[in-house]
Chain A
Amino acid sequence: MQTFLQYTILGLALGGAYFIAASGLVVTYTTSGIFNFAQGAIAMLAVFTYWQFRWGWGWPAPLALLMVLGILAPLLGAVLYQVVMKNLRGTSEVTKIIVSIGVMLGLQALATWVWSPTSSTPRQFQKFFGPNAFAHFGSLRVPWHIIISFIIAIAIAVGIRFLFVRTRSGVAMRAVVDDPELLQLNGGRPERLAMISWAGGSFLAALAGILIQPMIGSAMSAGALTLLVIDAFAAAMFGRLRSLPRTFMGALIIALTTTYVVAYFPSKWTWSSSFRNSLPMIFLFIILLVLPQDRLRGATVLRLRERFRMPSIRTAWIAGLTMMIVVFCLKVIMAKTGVNTLTLALTFAIIALSLVLLTGFAGEINLAALSFGAIAVMVVYHFGISGTGTEARTTLWGILLAAVVTALVGALIALPALRLRGLYLALATMAFGVFISRMVLTERTEREIFGLKFTLFTSGQLAIPRPKIGPIDFNGQDAFLFLCAGLFVAIGIGMVYLRHSGYGRRLTAMKDSPAASATLGMSVVRLKLSIFMMSAAIAGIGGVMMAAQVGTVNSDRFDIFLSLALAMITVVGGIGYVSGALFAGIFLIAFIEALNLMLKKFAVDYSSLEAIFMFFISAVTVLPATIGITMGKNPSGAVSDIVEGMNKVKQSKPLMITVIGLEAAIWALTATEVITNWHFVILTFANLILVPIVGGKFLMARAMRGVPKPVPPELIGIDRPFTDEDLAAMDQALNLDGVVIPSSTTVREEPANASA
């Protein structure tokens, strides 16, 4: 009984803190329609800042609290809204999700930068009123901190309800969701209300973080804290991001269940702590599964700012071939470490392809691509290796089996996808990812099921050898590099074929309007299921290749934050394109690595400026997130910009010859070791980026004299008569080259006949 009471009280307090975090989510979602994935990161940052003030600098608690909760947290929220979130009007749900994930990763990188996790003294966070302040109820001792937490949670619940029902600003915040324009016509200021609500949401996150940290009692860790508050997502979903009472109930149920697991599961069950940690995510998954279905919405056609052009099959083949040649040329001049990095980058690019297929083609989201990779790796480790020692090789059958298993798991995860879209699906996959890393990848003990003995993640390390396929052994680094490049190209070209097929068109239709697709008699269920399975299989194959490149992988390789970063960078690269995936892999692995190496080399070479270069090295950790955040401004992705630049090159022969010629010269100089690889990188960069821009400007200026600006295809025919050239241009723009349509003359003659 004593235990029960003790844990119940703890659970109530934890539930209170979860509720506070979740209510912040509800408030911001209500007014801006953006689900703030960074909620946990804000809480984490607040905890670290509070620690700095309170224990780092020894401020008194009230002052530190005032500074963090009263000033810094609301300020952060307001600035986030003004600088980042405001720009997201009219973008797709994917962009909204990715940008807020970018904020989350950015804040996290920032925290690890400022508060180095390797610092010698672990940062401890104490309960309010000290660790020994207890209230006594009979024989029961309850820390004051716990009591305070629960009281604050109730006060917040009452306060928010009061705000939303009894104050005009609160009611106006609800009105913003219904119709911001109408609110403006009433004289309200929707932008200001949204900003205030973000300030409030950020305050609530900070409060929740400061209350939760002492309850868990362990040393502070940026990643763990970020994820801890993410547990509150489940509570917010339980309230369907609207109802506060339900959110409160959800928070209590989740918190109580987790504390009871700690209290009553036998301590000899090695998995019970993993289970406790993944419980909120299991809840989230179940809630999403049983959440009443969103009605298919088709009535409102959203004008999105994202645009993707489909490359033709011919372009795909040329691009694939070019890529193989480029990889070969790079290999010739690269050092061995460089080849390693490039291979790793390609394996990540393959995993990113699964995202392009799923999100870019079908509009569904997967935030846990690497978790599928982890599953595939486990399958290969247990069933797909022949030989031992240096003779060990991954078999083709092992890889195929891994693909099949991940496809099946993908189908399982697609279950919520069959009913949900966008945000809910993103959360479901994230729940799956966190579940995998908390529950499955921590499985080190041997288990026995039906007499079969096995360990899922043996000793925390899985050694995956390079594959041998038929007679071809890919054990050598070069051979493996070409295997990965070839695999990427093959899957990429396959995807372009798919996109051009009837199946691909059905996918696009489903992406644009699930309701219309359903009324046309398409089986949306089959489409979704199959696309999820295919995507999961690709992620699995990529994961196996990644593990084979690394050699021995531990669970960190499949970290959920890495999955999130990959998804984010793929969207930045252009989620609608195969090249976007390549960009993601190269950027996330090779570019960051190269930048780091270069800065380190500079720091050594110019030791007087070391401090500056060390600063930049830290800044590089924040770089990907910063780039993710800029998505609000350019939702079609970075690659589309580069491609636009390249188009200029393609249109002008002299420019193309210049660029290719220069590049060949640079390469030749490097291959003959006249210049170093660093020069190669820098010169290549300059050649590919700067020459088209400068040359393009020059050529454009010449060509544009007297030539009218090209009319965008959707405007053709509106402000001047439609000509045959227009028709041809339109066909090209819409990729209708091969499609037979009635000739333009008959089209135009018809009305004449009709009126005659």
Chain B
Amino acid sequence: MSEAHYHEDHGAVAGAPLVELVDVRAAYGTIEVLHGVNLSVPQGSVVALLGPNGAGKSTILKVISGLLPPTSGEVRLAGRMVNGASADELARIGLCTIPEGRGVFPNLTVRENLWMATMAGVPLAQVEEIAYARFPRLGERRKQLAGTLSGGEQQMLSMARALSVNPSVLLLDELSMGLAPLVVANLYEIVAQVSQEGVSILVSEQFARTVLGIAQYAAIVLHGNITRVGTPAELEDELSAAYLGS
């Protein structure tokens, strides 16, 4: 049901998929964690990966970002196979990943953190301009060490990178972790805006409610498989089953 159904229904509408996983398996050492995942992120859409702890959401994102090479299957970016590419190569051609936890360098200042974002090709002045315009709070603290920022401010800093480097694909892992609901809502509002500018976004999230508000599609991950894909409305029932175990 899942894969074919997904393509038939939405593939044509949303244009060619920018990110595509075909039968991807991945393992940590000898323990296989992903058992043949198929997934596509159509251009300019937000896809939410939902599922309980340890299901393999972060692992899927790691495989796409190039940090964990898949043991078999194909990872495609804009139709090109990128299995062997390293994370930094992918980052320089327009893939932006905000990893789990806080995606900042704690012993670097806010400004220096933004400076690191320029390795993807955008000049520092522009990165700073976009970042401080969007998050004035960061502008006030540009000399402060990122490790001393509050959790929300740190997440703003990592989002600032995502906004300013002009990516074509954005991978977000647990944006909401440890943040107040209001902050989370704010961040996702920004994510929605970014996607309207044509960026394809894949979000892993526990906080299903908020992300479903902005996602066009959602995929449910269970035990290293994608068990169901559909629009948020279609998945309403399954979601409560997956999370509440009823």
Asked if B86 and A182 make an inter-chain contact with CB atoms under 8 angstroms apart, the answer reads no
Contact with B along A165-196 (1 / 0, CB 8 A): 00010011011011101111111110000000
- Please give me the residue from chain B that is nearest to A169 by CB atom: B119
The answer, yes or no, to whether B239 is at the interface (CB within 8 Å) is: no
CA distance A425 to B218 in the complex (A): 53
Asked if B67 and A187 make an inter-chain contact with CB atoms under 8 angstroms apart, the answer reads no
| A715 contacts across to B, CB distance below 8 A | 30-31
- A182-B99, A186-B161 are known contacts. Are A171 and B87 too (CB-CB below 8 A)? no
Chain B nearest CB, measured from A291 CB (Å): 19
Asked if B97 and A185 make an inter-chain contact with CB atoms under 8 angstroms apart, the answer reads yes
Among A168, A178, A182, contact of B115 (Cβ-Cβ < 8 Å): A168
Asked if A177 and B119 make an inter-chain contact with CB atoms under 8 angstroms apart, the answer reads no
The answer, yes or no, to whether B6 is at the interface (CB within 8 Å) is: no
Asked if B105 and A178 make an inter-chain contact with CB atoms under 8 angstroms apart, the answer reads yes
| B161 contacts across to A, CB distance below 8 A | 186
CA distance A178 to B147 in the complex (A): 10
Binds A, one of B40-48, B51-59, B74-82, B106-114: B106-114
| A701 contacts across to B, CB distance below 8 A | none
The answer, yes or no, to whether B92 is at the interface (CB within 8 Å) is: yes
| A718 contacts across to B, CB distance below 8 A | 31
- Please give me the residue from chain B that is nearest to A178 by CB atom: B105
| Number of A-B pairs, beta carbon distance below 8 Å | 70
Chain B nearest CB, measured from A300 CB (Å): 12
Asked if B103 and A182 make an inter-chain contact with CB atoms under 8 angstroms apart, the answer reads yes
Chain B nearest CB, measured from A491 CB (Å): 37
| A185 contacts across to B, CB distance below 8 A | 65, 67, 87-88, 91, 96-97, 99, 103
The answer, yes or no, to whether B116 is at the interface (CB within 8 Å) is: yes
Q: Which of B92-145 contact A (CB under 8 A)?
A: 92, 96-97, 99, 103-108, 112, 115-121
- A171-B116, A187-B120 are known contacts. Are A181 and B108 too (CB-CB below 8 A)? no
| B97 contacts across to A, CB distance below 8 A | 185
| A183 contacts across to B, CB distance below 8 A | 88, 105, 116
| B119 contacts across to A, CB distance below 8 A | 168, 172, 186-188
| B92 contacts across to A, CB distance below 8 A | 187
Chain A nearest CB, measured from B148 CB (Å): 13
Asked if B107 and A178 make an inter-chain contact with CB atoms under 8 angstroms apart, the answer reads yes
CA distance A184 to B104 in the complex (A): 12
| A712 contacts across to B, CB distance below 8 A | 30
- A178-B105, A178-B107, A182-B103 are known contacts. Are A188 and B31 too (CB-CB below 8 A)? no
CA distance A187 to B85 in the complex (A): 12
Chain A nearest CB, measured from B114 CB (Å): 10
CA distance A172 to B115 in the complex (A): 9
Chain B nearest CB, measured from A327 CB (Å): 42
Asked if A171 and B31 make an inter-chain contact with CB atoms under 8 angstroms apart, the answer reads no
Chain A nearest CB, measured from B241 CB (Å): 20
| B30 contacts across to A, CB distance below 8 A | 712, 715
Task: Give the interface centre of B92, B99, B112 by most chain A CB atoms within 10 Å.
Answer: B112
Q: Which of A383-405 contact B (CB under 8 A)?
A: none
| A182 contacts across to B, CB distance below 8 A | 99, 103-105
| A187 contacts across to B, CB distance below 8 A | 88, 91-92, 119-121
Asked if B67 and A178 make an inter-chain contact with CB atoms under 8 angstroms apart, the answer reads no
Asked if B88 and A179 make an inter-chain contact with CB atoms under 8 angstroms apart, the answer reads no
CA distance A718 to B108 in the complex (A): 42
| A178 contacts across to B, CB distance below 8 A | 105-108
| B112 contacts across to A, CB distance below 8 A | 171, 174-175
| B86 contacts across to A, CB distance below 8 A | 184
- Please give me the residue from chain B that is nearest to A192 by CB atom: B88
Asked if B116 and A181 make an inter-chain contact with CB atoms under 8 angstroms apart, the answer reads no
Asked if B88 and A189 make an inter-chain contact with CB atoms under 8 angstroms apart, the answer reads yes
- A186-B116, A715-B30, A718-B31 are known contacts. Are A177 and B103 too (CB-CB below 8 A)? no
CA distance A177 to B107 in the complex (A): 9
CA distance A168 to B112 in the complex (A): 8
- Please give me the residue from chain B that is nearest to A176 by CB atom: B105
CA distance A175 to B31 in the complex (A): 31
Chain B nearest CB, measured from A455 CB (Å): 53
CA distance A183 to B115 in the complex (A): 11
| B120 contacts across to A, CB distance below 8 A | 186-187
Chain A nearest CB, measured from B123 CB (Å): 11
Task: Give the interface centre of B87, B97, B117, B118 by most chain A CB atoms within 10 Å.
Answer: B87
Task: Give the interface centre of B66, B118, B119 by most chain A CB atoms within 10 Å.
Answer: B119
Asked if A186 and B31 make an inter-chain contact with CB atoms under 8 angstroms apart, the answer reads no
Chain A nearest CB, measured from B68 CB (Å): 10
CA distance A168 to B127 in the complex (A): 14
CA distance A189 to B116 in the complex (A): 11
CA distance A297 to B116 in the complex (A): 28
Contact with B along A699-734 (1 / 0, CB 8 A): 000000000000010010010000000000000000
Chain B nearest CB, measured from A312 CB (Å): 28
| B121 contacts across to A, CB distance below 8 A | 187
- Please give me the residue from chain B that is nearest to A168 by CB atom: B115
- A171-B112, A171-B116, A718-B31 are known contacts. Are A184 and B67 too (CB-CB below 8 A)? yes
CA distance A168 to B115 in the complex (A): 7
- Please give me the residue from chain A that is nearest to B88 by CB atom: A184
Chain A nearest CB, measured from B121 CB (Å): 8
| A179 contacts across to B, CB distance below 8 A | 105
Q: Which of A505-520 contact B (CB under 8 A)?
A: none
Q: Which residues of B contact A (CB under 8 A)?
A: 30-31, 65-67, 86-88, 91-92, 96-97, 99, 103-108, 112, 115-121, 161
Considering the complex of A and B, which 3 residue pairs feature the smallest CB-CB distances, nearest first?
A187-B119, A187-B91, A184-B87
Q: Which residues of A contact B (CB under 8 A)?
A: 168, 171-172, 174-175, 177-179, 181-189, 712, 715, 718
28 contacting pairs across A/B (C-beta < 8 A): A168-B115, A171-B108, A171-B112, A172-B119, A174-B105, A175-B116, A178-B105, A178-B107, A182-B105, A183-B88, A183-B116, A184-B67, A184-B87, A184-B91, A185-B65, A185-B88, A185-B91, A185-B97, A186-B91, A186-B119, A187-B92, A187-B119, A187-B120, A187-B121, A188-B119, A189-B88, A712-B30, A715-B30
Q: A174-B107, A189-B88 are in contact. List 7 more A-B contacts (CB 8 A).
A: A168-B118, A171-B116, A184-B67, A185-B97, A185-B99, A186-B88, A712-B30
